[in-house]
Amino acid sequence: MASTTHPPKQAEFTTISGVPVERVYTRADLPEGFDFKREVGEPGEPPYVRGIHETGYRGRLWTMRQFSGFATPEETNERYRYLLAQGQTGLSVAFDLPTLMGYDSDHAMAAGEVGKCGVAIDSIEDMERLFQGIRLEDVTTSMTINSPAAPIWAMFLVAAERQGADWKRVSGTLQNDILKEYIAQKEYIFPPAPSMRLVVDTIEFGARETPKFNPVSISGYHIREAGSTALQELAFTLRDGLEYVDWTLRRGLAIDDFAPRLSFFFNAHSDFFEEIAKYRAARKLWYRELTEHYGAKNPRSAKLRFHTQTAGVSLTAQQPYNNLTRVALQALAAVLGGTQSLHTNSLDEALALPTEEAVTLALRTQQIIAYETGVANTVDPLGGSWFVEKGTLEMENGARDYFRRIDEMGGMVAAVEQGFPQREIADASYRYQQALENGEKFMVGVNRFVTEEQPVPTLYIDETARQSQSAKLQALRQRRSSDAVQRNLSELRKVAATPSGNTMPAMLDCVRASCTLGEICDTLREVFGSYTETAIT
């Protein structure tokens, strides 16, 4: 543009991930001969870019699922009942770090960590306390647990069994995505290969016993939180999903036996259109891979369903009330991208776990989008926008490039062992930090419009959770039959050492005999060993 009264204020405009953005988009931005019907289609039709359901949210709104857990199972149970009473439609369990790492609350490594970032679960009795008065047949439950996913799921299933529930009717999701732990969140216990085997055990068990339960939620959320770009989140997450498919096929299952129950979990960051393009591309890529490469015949196998959480990393400790606005816009992007389930972060989460007031506001944000804005009345309202379609295409092509590079390395497990995704993410995260420092990117309240701070009320968790959990563990150990504990743990040890065996039945028996999470994970540590990463900076 040669002459204008308002020349561009920057030399280059880019997305939050650093992808160039043009002044305006026209039909010329799509490739010549772009076949809209084939490349985009209609809602409910392949390649599902516009959504997996013909009626979108007209038929059914997304599940409003706030991730929650703190202190003891008793205290978290109260929060769950409160959230359900406020209109939340699904539960989502946050576990504390000792639980995520397979340690009992009285383990030396658990000092200072019990109940801090989630709820402490040591035994079947804690799992029963967590869901006291909540019928597991009536509510869907998502559990954010990875390395110890199999024993935690066993505890959940035994708790349901003791409520008299039919496993065939219990629905929910296990995160159980170990690959992203090595890539991003780093709460791993065992080396990659035995970890993958445990994931396959749960997929196989679920296909047989729990037809309404999603055994894996393949998670880009943490990859993004670790500093990846939107494209890296998309590419690594879907490639992780394909890796689970490969390993499960090798166990001998047919693709349509388990693919319909694989689900996904994405981040909703602040760059509105980039996020929407990411979700639309994800559906298309999954459809194409599952049908063209794996020969899935059941249409449900190739329909990518996903949960979304707004970006924790985008929240600021400075001017925390601004986070409410950030979350609302991110949630809107997730809805316009067609999410099946949504968690909106609370405004105080850069400071602490949320207070009841803050989490209620976060839930109300979803309800306002659903019931007041009208955006749920039509499916994929941004479809056909040249900018959005171009962005979707760029995401697809970029992800395919990453797939090729990872395949050349021998697959995702090999790529992780070589540190490839870890390095890509660390580089992207450092580039973004530099862009913030040198003022190329703005963060309101951090490097723009900075003001004096007004403190907000925050939730404070003290050390009583550890004392309470330790006392319960001591009582449990005295009460249970130590013969039954030893017998069941040694049975588990035997199955774990047999690579073709499925550990789930033995795990369920251990849980029924009141073995603790720490004891079960120690038994698996003996057989599988522990993993230590080579630190990359």
Partner 1 sequence: MPDPRRIRILVAKPGLDGHDRGAKVVARGLRDAGMEVIYTGLRQTPAMIVNAALQEDVDCIGLSILSGAHNAIVPELMEEMRKQHMEGVLVVLGGIVPESDIAELKKAGVAAVFPPGSRMSEIADFIRAHVPERPALVS
**Collapsed DSSP state (helix, strand, coil) of residue 174:** strand
Tell me which of 26, 55, 373, 433 binds partner 1, using CB under 8 A. 433
Question: Maximum CA pair distance of the chain?
Answer: 86
Written as six digits, the tokens of 348 are 């105080």
Q: Is 113 in the site for partner 1 (CB under 8 A)?
A: yes
Q: Which is nearer to partner 1, 318 or 392 (CB)?
A: 318
152 closest CA partner among 110, 196, 103 = 103
Q: What is the DSSP string of 340-369?
A: SEEEPPPTTTTTSSPPHHHHHHHHHHHHHH
Q: Is 109 in the site for partner 1 (CB under 8 A)?
A: yes
Tell me which of 249, 350, 435, 444 binds partner 1, using CB under 8 A. 350
**Collapsed DSSP state (helix, strand, coil) of residue 417:** helix
Q: Is 455 in the site for partner 1 (CB under 8 A)?
A: yes
Report d(CA 181, CA 187) in Å as an integer. 6
Written as six digits, the tokens of 201 are 């055990």
Q: Using CB under 8 A, which residues numbered 124 to 183 contact partner 1?
A: 181
* Residue 535 DSSP class: P
H or E element: which one contains 217? Answer: strand 216-219
Tell me which of 21, 117, 165, 409 binds partner 1, using CB under 8 A. 117
Q: Which is nearer to partner 1, 186 or 300 (CB)?
A: 186
Tell me which of 134, 249, 426, 435 binds partner 1, using CB under 8 A. 426
Q: What share of the chain is helix, strand, coil (3-state, %, to 5)?
A: 50, 10, 40
* Secondary structure in 3-state letters for 49-99: CCCCCCCHHHCCCCEEEEEECCCCHHHHHHHHHHHHHCCCCEEEEEECHHH
Q: Is 529 in the site for partner 1 (CB under 8 A)?
A: no
Total number of residues shown for the chain: 537
Binding range to partner 1, per CB under 8 A, among 16-24, 53-61, 265-273, 424-432: 424-432
Q: How far is the CB of 270 from partner 1 (least distance, A)?
A: 15
Q: Is 297 in the site for partner 1 (CB under 8 A)?
A: no
Task: Write each residue from 182 to 221 as x if it is in contact with partner 1 (CB under 8 A), else as -, in one continuous string.
Answer: ---xxxx---------------------------------
Half-sphere exposure of 267 toward its Cβ, with a 13 Å CA cutoff? 25
Tell me which of 55, 87, 111, 378 binds partner 1, using CB under 8 A. 111
Tell me which of 304, 351, 416, 492 binds partner 1, using CB under 8 A. 351
Report d(CA 385, CA 480) in Å as an integer. 63
Q: Is 533 in the site for partner 1 (CB under 8 A)?
A: yes
Q: Binding residues for partner 1, how many (CB under 8 A)?
A: 47
Q: How far is the CB of 498 from partner 1 (least distance, A)?
A: 30
Q: Is 327 in the site for partner 1 (CB under 8 A)?
A: no
Q: Residue 350 carries which side chain, given as an amino acid letter?
A: A
Q: Using CB under 8 A, which residues numbered 372 to 391 contact partner 1?
A: none
Q: Which is nearer to partner 1, 318 or 340 (CB)?
A: 318
Report d(CA 125, CA 407) in Å as an integer. 44
Q: How far is the CB of 443 from partner 1 (least distance, A)?
A: 7
Report d(CA 202, CA 217) in Å as an integer. 12
Q: How far is the CB of 445 from partner 1 (least distance, A)?
A: 8
Binding range to partner 1, per CB under 8 A, among 110-118, 235-243, 373-381, 508-516: 110-118
Tell me which of 36, 321, 430, 449 binds partner 1, using CB under 8 A. 430
* Residue 307 DSSP class: E
Report d(CA 299, CA 305) in Å as an integer. 12
Tell me which of 226, 231, 332, 334 binds partner 1, using CB under 8 A. 226
Q: How far is the CB of 455 from partner 1 (least distance, A)?
A: 6
Half-sphere exposure of 462 toward its Cβ, with a 13 Å CA cutoff? 3
Tell me which of 53, 79, 116, 129 binds partner 1, using CB under 8 A. 116
Is residue 8 classed exposed, middle or buried when 0-12, 13-18 and 19+ CB atoms within 10 A define those classes? exposed
Q: How far is the CB of 93 from partner 1 (least distance, A)?
A: 17
202-220 core/surface letters (b: 16 or more CB in 10 A; e: else): bbbbbbeebeebbbbbbbb
Binding range to partner 1, per CB under 8 A, among 77-85, 127-135, 313-321, 518-526: 313-321
What residue ranges bind partner 1 (CB under 8 A)?
97-98, 100-101, 103, 109-113, 116-117, 181, 185-188, 225-227, 313, 316-318, 350-352, 426, 429-430, 433, 437, 443, 445-447, 455, 458, 460-461, 463, 532-537
